Amino acid sequence: MSLSLAASTAPLAAARVHDLLVRVRKSAPRVHAITNAVAQNFTANVLLALGAVPSMTVAEDEVADFAGGADALLVNLGTLDDTRRAAIPLAIEAARAAGRPVSIDPVFVNRSPVRCAFARSLLTSAPDLLRLNPPEMDALFPGRAGVEELISAGTVFAVTGEEDKIESKGEDFRLLNGHPLMARVTATGCAGGAVLAAFTSVEPDRALAAACGLSVFNIAGEIAATRSGGPGTFVPELLDALHAMDLNDIEARLKAA
């Protein structure tokens, strides 16, 4: 399916990416991440390396307080058990009431009609950001049905793959950073979604926030790949690259069409 995305209306510059990274580090936003069981530890460490703060409870009696008090909410459907099914609507409602950005990562909705239906029910909240890959996009929005309505309501689509595409009612971006080794370690995509959520907490232009967050995470992946010997050493190198990234790294590697 063609995503019919326009070229970027404002080419992404390294200085813009670095500015948002600095703002994340200075503000140390807390991201409440309702994510899958496989991804929790890695996601927390990625947020800490970035300069953000993770919280992750899915307990029904406290998730609203955590989500409402956080700076951003990430909902990842990777392991959609009964506890998370109950917690997710409460967290979204609390984050919305507090005026916090909500990001949804509808992982594997293309593999499960039940999960796809649950994800569709969450779209009534018009999330600030939807991060998904092309098969998930096809499953959730067959023939792009409903995409334009969500975009008009302010939702930004970050469609990730060999080329990352960001679509919004304002700026659109095409991003070309990343490394194949990122797909050889579990939960990199889930952790990357948490990075995007952190960036939405410091930038009201959600398309710009998503473009900068994806660029930072994928550039870190490129740097890690040059320093690691394979998947086993890639993870610590990725964390180090996120922690140490500076303007020179971004200027040297940023690829945005």
pTM above 0.85, yes or no: yes
Asked if the structure places residue 5 within a domain, the reply is no
- pLDDT tens series, the chain, 257 aa: 233 333 344 579 999 999 999 999 999 999 999 999 999 999 999 999 999 999 999 999 999 999 999 999 999 999 999 999 999 999 999 999 999 999 999 999 999 999 999 999 999 999 999 999 999 999 999 999 999 999 999 999 999 998 999 999 988 999 999 999 999 999 999 999 999 999 999 999 999 999 999 999 999 999 999 999 999 999 999 999 999 999 999 999 999 87
Asked if the structure places residue 1 within a domain, the reply is no
Task: Write out the residue range of the structural domain in which residue 182 sits.
Answer: 14-253
Asked if the structure places residue 3 within a domain, the reply is no
Which residues are registered as beta bridge partners of 111? none
Asked if the structure places residue 4 within a domain, the reply is no
For the chain, the domain total comes to 1
| Strand, helix or coil for residue 71 | coil
Asked if the structure places residue 165 within a domain, the reply is yes
In the numeric block, the tokens 């998503």 are attached to 210
| Strand, helix or coil for residue 218 | helix
Asked if the structure places residue 140 within a domain, the reply is yes
Asked if the structure places residue 122 within a domain, the reply is yes
Return the CATH number at 193. Answer: 3.40.1190.20
| CB burial of residue 169 (10 Å; 0-12, 13-18, 19+) | middle
Asked if the structure places residue 154 within a domain, the reply is yes
